Amino acid sequence: MSRAVILIDWSAYHASRFQLLQASLACDGRSLPLMSYVVPSSQTANPEVHEYFLESLAECFTPETHVIVITDAGFQGWWFQQVSSRGWTYICRVLGNHYYNVGDGWEKVINSGIKTSTTATYLGEGLLGRSKKAQHEGHFYLYKSKPKGRKFKRSKERAPRPSVTTKAHTVGKSPWFIFTNSTEFSPKQVMKLYSRRMQIEQNFQDEKILTEDSG
């Protein structure tokens, strides 16, 4: 295997008392779960948990394998260093009040919408994070998909919490602001790779069904 595109994300497990950290291999149509790790909710996004997880994941690949890790906005800070220190590529979405600088001064990611285009755009090389203790060098890309007219679907059995509905709506409308340590791919290729992250959501749905059936 010369290249492996790995999708990593957290998901609630057993009524949110625990959190499931999963890595899946992106394939055509669906992703193949490679490894799962369950921890108490208090350890969600814990750097030590991430380090242990990545160490275990590394055993799945030969040193020659080009590993590309795709994550959503829940992975920040030391995560970038933990991935890049293994010689791997990360492609991660960034949201909210994080600051970035591509040579024109510090700006908030949340304000990047004014630069948005329906064509994937390379913003440049720069820094993520104003604090020198938490700064990371990398490359920034931006893309906003065209509206598709889809509405948030409510469950027939249970109305979603307002916070969940609002969060899903906000994230869905937000541009894809992508941070990566690689210059190997074109802006369009970066967005295509990131879009494959959605495959892991189906795995979480399958996991939830199995958990409910066994419970």
CA separation for the pair 107, 56 (Å, rounded): 36
- Count structural domains, the chain: 1
Whether 198 is in a domain gets the answer yes
The CATH number for 7's domain is: 3.90.350.10
Domain assignment present for 215: no
Cβ atoms of 91 and 28 within 8 Å: the answer is no
Tokens standing for residue 113: 């919408």
**Amino acid at site 82:** Q
pTM over 0.85? The answer is: no
More confident residue, 187 or 201: 187
Rg of the chain's alpha carbons, rounded to an integer?
Answer: 18
Domain assignment present for residue 120? The answer is: yes
Distance from CA of residue 70 to its chain's centroid? 5
- Say if residue 80's pLDDT is above 50: yes
Residues in the chain: 215
* Residue 27 belongs to domain spanning: 3-210
Mapping DSSP to helix (H, G, I), strand (E, B) and coil, where does residue 9 land?
strand
User: Does the pLDDT value for residue 150 go beyond 70?
Assistant: no
**Assigned domain for 204 exists:** yes
Q: For residue 192, what pLDDT is reported? A: 96
Give the per-residue pLDDT at 167.
42
User: Which of 4-8, 11-15, 91-95, 195-199 has the least mean pLDDT?
Assistant: 11-15
Q: What is the mean pLDDT of the chain?
A: 85
Q: Given a cut of 50, is residue 74 above it in pLDDT?
A: yes
Any domain includes 55: yes
Distance, in Å, from the CA atom of 215 to the CA atom of 213, rounded to the nearest integer, reads 6
pLDDT tens digits along 17-44:
999 999 999 998 788 999 999 999 999 9
* Residue 108 belongs to a domain: yes
Per DSSP bridges, beta strands 66-71 and 89-93 are parallel
